[in-house]
Amino acid sequence: MKVLSVSSEVFPLVKTGGLADVAGALPIALKRFGVETKTLMPGYPAVMKAIRKPVARLQFDDLLGEPATVLEVEHEGIDILVLDAPAYYDRAGGPYLDATGRDYPDNWRRFAALSLAGAEIAAGLMPGWRPDLVHTHDWQSAMTSVYMRYYPTPELPSVLTIHNIAFQGQFGADVFPGLRLPPHAFATESIEYYGNVGFLKGGLQTAHAITTVSPSYAGEILTPEFGMGLQGVITSRIDSLHGIVNGIDTDVWNPSTDPVVHTHYNGTTLKSRVENRTSIAEFFGLHNDNAPIFSIISRLTWQKGMDVIAATADQIVDMGGKLAILGSGDAALEGSLLAAAARHPGRIGVSIGYNEPMSHLMQAGSDAIIIPSRFEPCGLTQLYGLRYGCVPIVARTGGLNDTVIDANHAALAAKVATGIQFSPVTASGLLQAIRRALLLYADQKVWTQLQKQGMKSDVSWEKSAERYAALYSSLAPKGK
């Protein structure tokens, strides 16, 4: 089966979050199920710089007002179609924000163009290759299935995956003419959303199947608390909704071979982690003593519960923990966390910024990773934690709930526990979890058992890729 995946970021070419990891790893995992994927993504400067010997495959003179070329290239095992459109993507800032951190004002056109290019390829415009199915991700490519619906060519099946419903791609009705859709597309059963244009809303209405990245989150988004206004639309599509938990690339994330990890180890050589721990302590300016290091690797936002970390940092230190925090995001939260570090030199270290190698080392050397998200469709850092023997302490929500087994008495006795879950996401909820972690940590035999059990968890793509492949087959024409 041939699949066109359309994504606004793909690891290792460009990554701002978990979407890139999934868009990069899933096509590789799907190969063994007979699925051949080409992934269409924007030609940001970092992408244009990284690719070698691309081949021009399709030319647009006027893709929503600008010229563009689709280039094909193989990059680290992924077949990439780069949408080279300098007017849209050759910019100094990041994929979505300018250098000052503001949304590009023409994001609607930039990602409608990506989606339209996807729909054109789906319609068979690219010589020599037409997919059997299209897979889109989040609002940035959700318009692909909208364009596909209004195409004169026979419609292909499409799957839309929701990675984060908090970002919906909503724009004023004034952008509608610029999308070049027929007038009747501005309707409730398509992209119209309370008088505005909703890209994710349009995708939810037009994709043949909707998936999200864990079974728990698939249930949660049907409720007003988690649906963020789209719960009604999703409920109306409940028969086409699937929760498939994310996996991780276990070759990229492997503590016995990871090139950025100083000292390699496996489940039987966990003691070697201590050398990685020393490197983290050095980087974050932490005392290299026996107190456990709790890591945080995250966007510093309310969704991720970072305000709760800021509110409890003093008590976590008082209780005997140390914090190593890597991330960036909300300026006020960055300020509160830096202030906490200044109050507790040697006990709290904060690094503001994005640092992929350090994120690996932290998993390989710190004792636990705290993930206090208010909602979490799947979450990847707890999966990396499990793989690296870095015990996850997670909010009981979404995919965190589905992937971490809480160390309650029964689970400990049965030797199946892999981490700590807590609820609600409040200061007292988190502190209670930290207290439990410190008690477990004090008994090194129990702690080691938790680490080992976590490392045995199947966090690979194997089972989930099989589920995507089965979903694709159920939608694609017979024989594909």
The smaller minimum CB distance to ligand ADQ, of residues 69 and 460, is found at: 460
CB 373 within 8 A of CB 393: no
- Cβ(72)–Cβ(38) below 8 Å: yes
Is the Cβ of residue 116 or residue 244 nearer to ligand ADQ in the bound state?
Answer: 244
Integer angstrom CA distances of residue 157 from 47, 95, 179, 182, 239: 29, 28, 22, 21, 15
> Is residue 250 part of the contact set for ligand ADQ (CB under 6 A)?
no
Residue of minimal Cβ distance to ligand ADQ: 17
Among residues 132, 30, 125, 31, the alpha carbon closest in space to that of 477 is found at 132
Should residue 326 be labelled a site residue for ligand ADQ when binding is judged by CB under 6 A? Answer: yes
- Residue 166 Cβ vs ligand ADQ, minimum distance, rounded to whole Å: 8
81-140 positions binding ligand ADQ, by CB under 6 A:
none
Q: How far is CA 453 from CA 107, 328, 370, 393, 457, in A?
A: 44, 31, 18, 15, 7
Rule CB under 6 A: choose which of 87, 354, 432, 435 binds ligand ADQ: 354
Angle, helices 444-456/381-388, rounded to nearest 10 degrees: 110
366 binds ligand ADQ (CB under 6 A): no
403 makes contact with ligand ADQ (CB under 6 A):
no
Q: Which stretch binds ligand ADQ (CB under 6 A): 40-48, 270-278, 323-331, 456-464?
A: 323-331
By CB under 6 A, the residues from 147 to 206 that bind ligand ADQ are 163-164
Is 15 annotated as contributing to ligand binding? yes
Q: Please compute, for residue 244, the number of CA atoms within 13 A of its CA located in the half-sphere on the CB side.
A: 27
Minimum Å distance from CB 12 to ligand ADQ?
Answer: 12
Residue 251 in the binding site for ligand ADQ (CB under 6 A)? no
Is 356 near ligand ADQ (CB under 6 A)? yes
Q: Supply the Cα-derived Rg of the chain in whole angstroms.
A: 23
Hey, which residues between 60 and 79 contact ligand ADQ (CB under 6 A)? none
User: Should residue 394 be labelled a site residue for ligand ADQ when binding is judged by CB under 6 A?
Assistant: no
d(CA 275, CA 279): 7
Least separation in angstroms between CB 325 and ligand ADQ = 9
d(CA 294, CA 271): 17
Give the residue, chosen from 80, 82, 160, 297, that forms a contact with ligand ADQ under the rule CB under 6 A. Answer: 297
Would you say 160 or 378 has its CB closer to ligand ADQ?
378
Q: What backbone phi and psi angles, to 5 degrees, belong to 393? A: -115, 105
Minimum Å gap between C-beta 24 and ligand ADQ is 10
Site string for ligand ADQ, 5-44 (x = CB under 6 A): ------------xxx-xx----------------------
Stretch touching ligand ADQ by CB under 6 A, among 49-57, 147-155, 255-263, 354-362: 354-362
Of 303 and 315, nearer to ligand ADQ (C-beta) is 303
Positive/negative CA dihedral, 168, 174, 177, 181: positive
Cis peptide upstream of residue 12 (ω within 30 degrees of 0):
yes
Contact between 213 and ligand ADQ per CB under 6 A: yes
- Is residue 359 near ligand ADQ by the rule CB under 6 A? yes
Contacting residue, 140, 216, 246, 451, with ligand ADQ by CB under 6 A: 246
With CB under 6 A as the contact rule, the residue among 165, 378, 393, 431 that binds ligand ADQ is 378
| Shortest distance in whole angstroms from residue 138 CB to ligand ADQ | 8
Q: Which stretch binds ligand ADQ (CB under 6 A): 99-107, 220-228, 283-291, 349-357?
A: 349-357
From the CB of 376, what's the least distance to ligand ADQ, in Å? 5
Residue numbers at the binding site for ligand ADQ (CB under 6 A): 17-19, 21-22, 163-164, 213, 246, 297-299, 326-328, 354-356, 359, 376-381, 399
Binding site for ADP-alpha-D-glucose: which residues? Answer: 15
